[in-house]
Amino acid sequence: MDNPVCPLDYRYGREEIINVFGETSKLQFLLDVEAALARAHAKVGNISEQAAGEITKKATTKFVKASRVKEIELDTKHDIMAVTRALAEQCSGDAGKYIHLGATSYDIVDTANALQFKQATDMIKAQLKLLRKTLVKLAKTHKKTIMLGRTHGQFSIPITFGLKMAVYAMETDRHLERLHEGQSRILVGKMSGAVGTGAALGAHAMKIQQLVMQDLGLGVEEAATQIVGRDRYIELLCICANIAASMEKFATEIRNLQRSEIQEVAEAFEAKKQVGSSTMPHKRNPITSEQVSGLARLVRSNVIVGFENAVQWHERDLANSSSERFILPHSLILTDWIVYQMNDVFANLKVFPENMKKNMQHARGLPMAEAVMMKLVDTGIGRGEAHELVRTCSQTAIAHDSDLLSELLKEKSVCGSLPKKDITDAMDPQYYLGMAEHIVDDVVKKLTR
């Protein structure tokens, strides 16, 4: 294409998965289904093995060219009829007259879709596994790297960067589980004719459908209309959207932690050549994470169209066809891409423990307020009273631009209950990490295989 419009043609997406949805590949999947149908007919005795063999031999893009299919479609105004005629032209003897025998167009289209989904979801699974491995490595490396936890955009209590990565690793693992489980419902085809009765396939209709799907390695749509149930496609799109939401979540955290006033992590930046801004020479922007955030929103938006397509008139209409040509390949290609991009971000991530330590110090001890409160509770003070004591000291520290430790040491009720050493120890983040290290160890053990 000399002047491409879609950014998938020149900007986003890995070539490997884009090829699954390319024009030639799509044609080959359709031909694969037609060939499997012919072989099934031969097995039940409806056509000769010779005819099925000839159809199978010629059902490749080596013989059936996309350009010829387009020529025929200009006349037929029907894409699958164009495919079957182009295939028939290449078949010797009388084999051509048995092509597409007893099938409806969407027997071929939806079964070919499932073949595409099979390859695409396997590719996404592979990318998720790589990301999970990268996150596990970061979790292990930084299980003792202390940083500020933040809730509502404010200081909360200490956490470790390793625990943050362990959380992401487990979330990624759950997506792998969802995708694996979903494949059994998503990777199905049908071969049951115009309204699902299989009437045109004859007495062996059920056997033919079973043979075709076994041949292609797909599940069977047990009861269909003219199409495979679109609840299956909705599930696929929702899984993609769920994965996309996690990738944007991860990307947003990188973007926030790379902010100039935080600078606890940063995307890799090739200082010798990479340009951050056309006008601000100093800029180092988290461009990959920002790209992931933008594309993730597009993946999620496609779910709406998927739900709309589930509403069909009677046994089906054609309203779903045009939009599915966009949302199915785009959702799968972009999901694969943003997982791939997030893996690249994390695999090359710059982590700055010293900045994490500085930011903790700049917080003037406020993130340790809960730790002091719990120490006071241990002495027998009621939890509510302890909370109020430390809250008052915290608010005074904020109002006077002082530090929490100083205010605590001025408070008689605190000093009278806790020795100074206990107060000082409670203000040390390394003593208030709870089970963080243990959690990371458990996650690493579970996900290292």
What CATH number does residue 48 fall under?
1.10.275.10
**Which pLDDT score is estimated for 263?**
96
Where a domain ends, among 358, 389, 407? 358
Mean pLDDT score, 165-174: 98
How high is the pLDDT of residue 2? 77
Instruction: Give 271's pLDDT tier (boundaries 50, 70, 90).
Output: low
CATH number at residue 186: 1.20.200.10
Residues 68 and 341: their CA atoms lie apart, in Å, by 38
pLDDT over 60 (residue 425): yes
283 pLDDT higher than 60: no
- Give the pLDDT of residue 285: 85
Any domain includes 344: yes
Structural domains of the chain, count: 3
Is residue 432 one of the residues assigned to a domain? no
Residue 164, pLDDT above cutoff 60: yes
The answer on 396 and 345 residing in a single domain is no
* Cα distance between residue 397 and residue 376, in whole Å: 19
pLDDT tens string 246-261: 999 999 999 999 999 9
Q: Which amino acid is at 281?
A: P
Residue 438 lies in a domain: no
> According to the model, what pLDDT value does residue 270 have?
75
The rounded percent of the chain whose pLDDT value lies above 90 is 94
Point out the catalytic residue in the list 152, 282, 314, 322: 152
Q: Where a domain ends, among 319, 335, 358?
A: 358
pLDDT tens, 299-323? 999 999 999 999 999 999 999 999 9
**176 and 315 together in one domain:** yes
Q: What is the mean pLDDT of residues 408-425?
A: 93
Answer yes or no: do 133 and 193 share one domain.
Answer: yes
Nearest to 64 by CA among 41, 37, 94, 96: 96
Average of per-residue pLDDT across 229-239: 98
Whether the predicted pLDDT of 277 surpasses 90: no
Q: Which position among 78, 92, 180, 277 bears the catalytic label?
A: 277
Report if residue 444 sits inside a domain.
Answer: no
- What digits encode the pLDDT tens for the residues 16-35? 999 999 999 999 999 999 99
Residues 176 and 258 in one domain: yes
* Helix orientation angle between 161-186 and 230-257, rounded to the nearest 10 degrees: 170
241 and 165 in one domain?
Answer: yes
**What domain range includes position 75?**
7-98
Select from 49, 72, 98 the last residue of a domain: 98
Q: Torsion angle of alpha carbons 24, 180, 335, 243, nearest 10°?
A: 170
240 and 352 within one domain:
yes
pLDDT beyond 80 at 275: no
User: Do residues 377 and 347 share a domain?
Assistant: no
67 lies in the same domain as 127:
no
In a domain, 84, yes or no: yes
Residue 113: which pLDDT band, with cuts at 50, 70 and 90? very high
Is 152 considered catalytic here?
A: yes
Tell me, yes or no, whether 144 and 87 share the same domain.
no
Concerning whether 362 is annotated as a catalytic residue, the answer is no
* Mean pLDDT calculated for residue range 393-407: 96
Position 449 in a domain: no
> What pLDDT, on a 0 to 100 scale, did the predictor assign at position 1?
60
How many beta carbons lie within 10 A of that of residue 129, not counting itself? 17
* pLDDT-based confidence at residue 280 (cuts at 50, 70, 90): low
Mean pLDDT across 202-217: 98
Same domain for 386 and 343: no
Q: Are residues 153 and 258 in the same domain?
A: yes
Residue 64 located in a structural domain: yes
Please report the pLDDT score of residue 439 as a whole number. Answer: 98
Residue 1 belongs to a domain: no
Q: Are 137 and 216 contained in the same domain?
A: yes
Global pTM reads 0.95
